[in-house]
Amino acid sequence: MEELAITTEVTQYIKIRIQDEYFGIDIKYVDNIVRMQHITRVPMAPSYIKGVINLRGEVIPVFSLRLKMGLEEIEENKSFRIIILKYEGESVGIIVDEVREVANVASNDVEKVYHNNTDSIQNFLSGVGKTENGLISLLDIVEVLNDKAI
C-alpha cells in the first residue's frame, strides 16, 4: 500500500455498488462477472457464504459481500451480479448489488485509509480513489478473502 502512494501508475478497478456506496475491485483479481443464478446452499458454513455455483463445469463458492461487510441482506434484484475472483489459484464469487463500469485510478489519486477495529467495512479497504465520477472505496481483496472474523 505504501508503494501505491509513491508511484503514479494507473490501476483499473471494477466499480461496484453496495447499498449506496461505490467500491473498486482491482481488475487483476477479476476473472469473470456473471448474473445471479441458482446457488446451492452449503450447510454449516459461515453465514456470509451463500453456497456454491456451477461456472462452466467448475464448482465455485459464492460470498455475499453485504454480509461480509456486516450489512443487511436485501431481496435479490435484477442488478445483482456475481464477480468471480481468482486469487492464488482459487476461484471465489462475491455477490454485489450492481456493477457499474471500469474506473481508472492513478496511484497519486489514492487516499490512504486507516484500519480500526470497529468498522468492518473500513478494514477491507486499501484506500479511497478519486475519479472524475466521484470517490470510490478501493477494496483490499486479499483482506476480504482472508478475513475469517465474520
Q: Which residues sit at the interface with another protein, rule CB under 8 A?
A: 38, 40-46, 49, 51-54, 57-61, 63, 90-92, 145
Least distance CB 8 / another protein (angstroms): 34
**How far is it, in rounded angstroms, from Cα 86 to Cα 43?**
24
Our CB check for another protein shows the closer of 94 and 113 to be 94
Coil vs helix vs strand at 55 = strand
**How far is it, in rounded angstroms, from Cα 132 to Cα 126?**
19
Our CB check for another protein shows the closer of 35 and 41 to be 41
Strands 58-64 and 49-55: antiparallel
Our CB check for another protein shows the closer of 57 and 132 to be 57
Least distance CB 6 / another protein (angstroms): 32
Our CB check for another protein shows the closer of 55 and 106 to be 55
Least distance CB 37 / another protein (angstroms): 9
C-alpha cell of 71? 450489512
Q: Which of 109, 92, 101 is nearest to 27 (CA)?
A: 101
Least distance CB 114 / another protein (angstroms): 27
**How far is it, in rounded angstroms, from Cα 24 to Cα 140?**
9
Strands 81-87 and 58-64: unpaired
